[in-house]
Amino acid sequence: MHTRRIPIDPANIDRAVIKEAAALIRAGELVAFPTETVYGLGADALNASAASKIYAAKGRPSDNPLIVHISRFEDLCAVASGEAARAGRLAEVFWPGPLTVIVPGSDKVPRETTGGLKTVAVRMPGHPVALALIEESGCLIAAPSANTSGRPSPTEAAHVAADMDGRIPLILDGGAVGIGIESTILDLTEEIPLILRPGYITKEMLEEALREEVRMDPGLCAAGDKKTTYSECCGGSLHVSAAPGAGTGLRPKAPGMRYRHYAPRAELIVLEGEPGRVAEEINRLVRSRQAEGKRVGVIAADETRSCYRADVVAGAGARAQEEVIARRLYGILREFDDLNVDVIYSESFDTPRMGLAIMNRLLKAAGHRVVHV
C-alpha cells in the first residue's frame, strides 16, 4: 500500500483535503491525523471491519480498547447507555480538549472498538483538523495513537510515517502537536470517578469541575501524593512491576493499562533522588556500559544537562516548563532510536502539576525499571 502524506494548515484548513480524508473514513479505511495530544490513527468507530484494521496496522492486542472521537456532545449519547450528567459537567469545562471519559456503552459500538468491554471510551479532541475530519466524515472516529504498538507515540507526522508507511493510505500532516502526551482517562462507571491514565487534565481540575471526589487507579504509582517519590510508591530501588491487570485475566478498561507502551528500542532505566547523586550515579553507569561497548544516552532537565558525559545527552526542558518536557518526551525517545543508542538513563521528572503524567509515560517506556539513589 502506498501511503500519502498531505500537509494541512490547522489555521487555514484545506476543505478538499478534509473531504478526501473523510471519504476514506466512510469507506472503512484508515487515516492518521493530528490532535492536540498526539497523532491519532482513525477509522469509523461503528464499523467493526474498519476498527479491526486499526489493530492490524498497529499490531495492537485486540483486548486493548479504542477511544471514540466525537465533534458534538450529542454524539456521546449515540454511543453511551444510561445517564451522562457527570460527563456533561466535564464536557462543559474540558471539551474540546484532552479528556477521555469511560461510560457504559450502547449496542451500537462494536466489540472491535470497545475491546470486548461493555464500556466505551469517548473524547472530543481540541484540534481543528481532528474536528473537521470527524464532522466531514459524518462518522464517529475510533483513534488510538498512530504508532506501531508499544512504540513512543507520534507527536509529528514524520513519526507516523516511520511506523505506518505502507500500512495506511493517508497521513494528514498538521505539524507538531501541542501537548505531546495522551489524554487523561476518567472512568465514570465507578461510584467515585477513577483516573485510569493521568494527563494534562489533573485530578484537582476534575474534582473542581465535578465538585466531588476523584480517585487515582491503584495501579498508578504515586497517586497524587506529593510527599512520596515515584519509585518509593512503586516499591523503591530497582523495581519492575506488572501493568495493571497483567496476568489477572481481566480486560483493561482503558488504552495502555496492561501492555508496555511508549518504549524505545533501547533499554531504558529511570533514576531518581537528590540531583547531584543522580548525576553521579548516571555517569558511573554510563562509563560501565560504555566499557561494554554500548552506546549510551541520557535524558536530563536543561538545568543538569551539562553534568553528563554520555554518547548522546538530550535536554527535555527546564523543570519549571512542564509542558515542554511533556511535549518533547516521545520525540527524544524516537531520536535515540535514530541514533542507535543501546541504553538510556533518565532523570525523573516529578514536577508539580504534570509530573504524574510525565512519569507515567516514562515509567511505562522503561518497563517500570526505577533506581532510587
Task: Give 293's pLDDT tier (boundaries 50, 70, 90).
Answer: very high
Shortest CA distance to 264 belongs to which of 373, 372, 371, 159?
159
Q: What is the CA radius of gyration of the chain?
A: 20
**pLDDT at site 261:** 73
pLDDT at 222 over 70: no
pLDDT tens sequence across 160-176: 999 999 999 999 999 99
Please name the residues in contact with 101: beta carbons below 8 A apart, sequence gap of 6 or more: 87, 90, 121, 122, 123, 185, 186, 187, 188
Domain with CATH 3.90.870.10 in the chain: 4-173
Q: Under CATH, what is the fold of the domain 4-173?
A: DHBP synthase (3.90.870)
Largest distance between two CA atoms of the chain: 61
Where are the CATH 3.40.50.11030 domain residues in the chain? 221-373
For 321-370, write each residue's pLDDT tens digit.
Answer: 999 999 999 999 999 999 999 999 999 998 889 999 999 999 999 999 99
In terms of average pLDDT, the best of 75-89, 130-144, 226-240 is 130-144
- In this prediction, residues 181-186 reach a mean pLDDT of 98
Among residues 276, 261, 289, which one has the least CA distance to residue 345? Answer: 289
Report, as an integer, the average pLDDT of 260-287: 94
What is residue 218's predicted lDDT score, i.e. its pLDDT?
85
Strands 39-44 and 194-197: unpaired
At residue 189, φ and ψ (nearest 5 deg) are -85, -10
CATH second-level architecture of 221-373? 3-Layer(aba) Sandwich (3.40)
Rounded CA-CA distance 70/122 in Å is 7
